Amino acid sequence: MKREDPFIDEATIRVVSGRGGDGCVSFRREKYVPRGGPDGGDGGRGGDVVLRADRNLATLIDQRLRRDNSAEAGEAGGGANRTGRSGETLSIALPVGTIVYDADAPSSEPLADLTEHGQQFVVARGGRGGRGNASFTTATRQTPDFAGKGQPGESRRLRLSLKLLADVGLVGFPNSGKSTLLRRISAARPRVAEYPFTTLFPHLGVAEARGRRFVVADIPGLIEGASEGAGLGDRFLRHIERTRVLVHLVDVGTALLEQRDPLAAYEAIRRELGAYAASLLERVEIVALSKIDLLADREVLRPVEAALRARAHSVHRISGATGEGIPELLADVARCLEATEAAA
């Protein structure tokens, strides 16, 4: 069986900026030039450590594998007033949506939130280079025989937390059809199987409707008690915090065939969302009644639809297997995104 690539959304790393180069002690010595005087140059500045958002990255696996990151030190100054070369800046690429915290600080306030491609944040500045003895010359001190030492770089431990940047979040119980829907509407290829927890980490896909494209995230692991650690726990709930529209999939096909109440499943997921963050209950929510291809009699859906229309923005009947109702669902999602943009 082909294994899915690991999805890493948490990492702790150590960064150290470069030490500044030492200043030089040197005296000019040339033929026919007596008392040439001091000519020691300054040391070069140490390299900075810069965090850079890169939309081509999807996980923090590189940071999990490489925990220590050091920028280059500056070179020492030289004679003839030569300044040492500055150290190279160390640029660390992170996925868009990464939040950076000081791992050793008691405050939970982030140092940076990298939400745009190419956004940069200098997390550790290189040490200043030491001054050469030529810099210490004064009217009363003609031949200083000392120079400054380069300053050490900054050392920090950083906690990195990735929150996916998606316009739309797919939520629902395991096996409710989220992965099948994502495969149908985008080029994403999450695993699909007839057992719970097939999807073990979020997947992103790009869908299109009404002339616009939007990013859809399939959020796994939601069951009753997820906010308290049941199932996959609340580990992935943070990935829907940035979404503007939630599509809540309710498996009516299997539930009604097995004489289970699909409304109970809907309410259970809503409770978990609210327990994690009350603000999630205020998002625009579209309910998709999934797996309707399993039902011979569609009339049994009417009571369920009537109850959900009083709660959600809209209700759609869909089948990920046949594609039924999906164009209408996507068009509704696109209209909701347009409305949220206009209201912002």
Separate counts of helices (H) and strands (E) for the chain: 6, 14
Residue 22 clears pLDDT 50, i.e. is over it: yes
Tokens standing for residue 240: 């829907």
What is the model's pTM? 0.82
Q: Is the pLDDT of residue 2 over 60?
A: no
Q: Looking at residue 186, what is its pLDDT?
A: 93
CA angle 297, 302, 303 (to 5 degrees): 120
Residue-level pLDDT at 223? 63
Mean per-residue pLDDT of the chain: 90
- Residue 192 in tokens: 């699909």
How does pLDDT run across 44-61, given as a tens digit for each residue?
999 999 999 999 998 999
Residue 5 has pLDDT above 60, yes or no: no
Q: Which of 70-79, 95-104, 192-201 has the lowest mean pLDDT?
A: 192-201
Residue 267 has pLDDT above 60, yes or no: yes
Superfamily of domain 168-343: P-loop containing nucleotide triphosphate hydrolases (3.40.50.300)
Residues 24 and 132 sit within 8 Å (Cβ to Cβ):
yes
Segment 284-343, tens digit of pLDDT: 999 999 999 999 999 999 999 999 999 989 999 999 999 999 999 999 999 999 999 988
CA atoms within 13 A on the CB side of 344: 7
Non-local (6+) Cβ contacts of 240 within 8 A are 166, 169, 171, 217, 219, 246, 280
Distance of CA 259 to the CA centre of its chain: 41
Q: What is the predicted pLDDT for the residue at 3?
A: 46
What angle do the packed helices 302-309 and 262-276 form, to 10 degrees? 30
pLDDT at residue 37 in the model: 87
Contacts of 179 (CB under 8 A, 6+ apart): 190, 191, 192, 198, 199, 203, 218
SS (H, E, C) 156-180: EEEEEEECCCCCEEEECCCCCCHHH
- Taking the C-alpha atoms of residue 8 and residue 262, their distance in angstroms, rounded to an integer, is 33
Contact 292, 305 (CB under 8 A): no
Q: Name the CATH superfamily, with its identifier, for domain 1-162.
A: GTP1/OBG domain (2.70.210.12)
**Dihedral, CA atoms, 162, 57, 6, 195, nearest 10 degrees?**
80
User: Would you state the pLDDT for residue 200?
Assistant: 65
CA distance 173 to 194: 13
Please state the domain extents for the chain: 1-162, 168-343
Q: Write out pLDDT tens, residues 119-174.
A: 999 999 999 999 999 999 998 898 899 999 999 999 999 999 999 889 999 999 88
Helix, strand, coil percent content, the chain, rounded in steps of 5: 25, 25, 50
